[in-house]
Amino acid sequence: MRIRRTTKRIVQIDLLEDRSLMTVAPSNLGPLCEPTTLNSAVIRLSASNQASQALKAIYDSGAYVDGAYDSTTWGIVFRPDVARDGVLKSWESSNWLAFSQTDSLIHSTALPVNDPMASQQWAIAGVDTASVNASTAWSRTVGQGVVVAVIDSGIDLNHPDLKSQLWVNTGEVAGNKRDDDRDGFIDDIFGVNFLNNSGNVQDDAGHGSHVSGIIAAAANNNTGGVGLAPGSKIMALKVLDQYGNGSLNAAVNAIYYAVNHGAKVINASWTMSMGSPSLQTAMAYAANRNVVVVTAAGNESVNNDQVPSYPGSYRYTNVLTVGAVDSAGHLASFSNYGPSSVDVAAPGVRIMSTTAGSYQSWDGTSMASPYVAATAALIASLRPDYSAAQIVNQIKATAHRSTELAGKIASAGYLDAGAATDLAPYVAPKVVTPVPPTTTVKSTTPIAKPVWPFRKATPVRRSPVRKK
């Protein structure tokens, strides 16, 4: 559906969703990305004097020695047309071979290999042109330790793919009806409902849950799909009601709450047609405190350079405004664009994710924005020393360039999380223990006077005095 803009200052969900229910795929899926195994093996000779016999057998079989670990342990590679396992079997009866071992597949522990819907997530699975290159990113990080604030319609607190992914306010005691951390909200355990200033962030629209699942749906739990940053935690800040509308004040207060409670990334999949001094001040507050703000560009098929859409049109160095592409990398027909005001594109068509108690496939720049927010979380996890501006620039600089997006998207590309996470490892600064200053301590023991070897006084020679 198309969201109608009004002259009132109303925050609205920014989406075009095809709300068709996804079917569950078989649970025996293999890894999303299999590394290539060379037609190779490692062999150990029975003795070093068997080298010449071993070399002849290796060369006769169509293989070659690729390196040696020591004088009797060699790595060998067979030609692609050679049946490696059969040749190794035939060598078992020889007197020169002690044992052989074939190469094996290895998988990153971060790779979600048992989430049954993962293959239906084209942006994650890596089989389509505009996929985000998730498997490469996961070989480096899953976003652990990073909090992403989702300013939206809340989150399904009981969803099997979301309930373990919630940020927890450790300063608050659940259920005691007190404001333990004195932040102005009672029992804000998982976030705040700014529509009624309570801690009840249960999603009654589904939109916030869908966005949250794209970012951080749990991995390796044999359930549903997986988020791009499954190691991150979601801070749920509810500003939209069941119809997708909310107030400006709620959105502004949510930004301040997210920054003050430790979120490194904010996702705002909503738009306003009019600017606001209070919203601009909140955005500046996030920028000054080094928090990345990722926003949806909008779904009106317009140029945001000419028709601004807020908050994305506030061009601070910590802001990333996101357009939508389909699986082929084409700009979605509904997506807003802007060569100056829309920074990068990301998957936003047929995006399967979590909804209230279910999984559905939706369209919209609302779905594209959280892929970029998740990538920001991945980078922040890898490089805690990076500023918000550095994270923004890294995502833009590594976007996959497309001639079709040139002149429409500032980076002229769509998201590549694998390239964005190709970073030098973080080196923690050395902690230098200061040397305590030297202090002079006065002794309370009296100092004995030295005994000098006094000499006898030399007699003074006097001239005789004559009487006159």
Q: Name the residues annotated as catalytic.
A: 152, 207, 366
Name every residue whose Cβ is closer than 8 Å to that of residue 461 and which is 6 or more positions away in sequence: none
Asked whether the beta carbons of 225 and 213 are under 8 A apart, the reply is yes
Collapsing DSSP to helix, strand or coil, 251 comes out as: helix
Asked whether the beta carbons of 320 and 296 are under 8 A apart, the reply is no
* Kind and range of the H or E run holding 51: helix 51-60
Helix ranges restricted to H, 133-289: 134-138, 207-216, 248-260, 277-288
What is the bridge-based pairing of β-strands 413-414 and 233-238? Answer: unpaired
Q: What angle do CA 29, 30, 34 make, to 5 degrees?
A: 150
The identity of residue 210, as a single letter, is H
Exposed/middle/buried for residue 135 (C-beta within 10 Å: 0-12, 13-18, 19+): buried
Asked whether the beta carbons of 84 and 68 are under 8 A apart, the reply is no
Asked whether the beta carbons of 409 and 345 are under 8 A apart, the reply is yes
Exposed/middle/buried for residue 101 (C-beta within 10 Å: 0-12, 13-18, 19+): exposed
Instruction: Report the 3 state secondary structure along 87-156.
Output: HHHHHCCCCCEEEEEECCCCCCCCCCCCCCCHHHCHHHHCCCCCCCCHHHHHCCCCCCCCEEEEEECCEC
Question: What pairs with residue 195 in β-bridges?
Answer: none
